[in-house]
Amino acid sequence: MKPIILRLTPRARRDIEKRTGFVARFPGGKPEERRREIYAAFNRICEFPERHPVEVRRRRSGLELRRHLVRQFAIVYAYLPAIEERPWGIVTVRAIQHRRVRDVFFGVRERGAVDDGPQPYLTV
Is residue 66 exposed (0-12), middle (13-18) or buried (19+ Cβ within 10 Å)? buried
Each residue's pLDDT expressed in tens, for the chain with a length of 124 residues = 568 889 999 999 999 999 888 888 888 888 889 899 999 999 999 999 999 999 988 887 778 999 999 988 999 999 988 888 888 899 999 999 887 777 667 667 655 544 444 444 444 4
- Total domains present in the chain: 1
Instruction: Write out the residue range of the structural domain in which residue 109 sits.
Output: 4-123
Q: Domain holding 60: CATH number?
A: 3.30.2310.20
DSSP state of 30: -
Are 76 and 9 within 8 A, CB to CB?
no
| φ, ψ for residue 107, nearest 5 deg | 85, -5
User: What does the longest C-alpha to C-alpha distance in the chain come to?
Assistant: 51
What pLDDT sits at residue 116? 42
What pLDDT sits at residue 52? 94
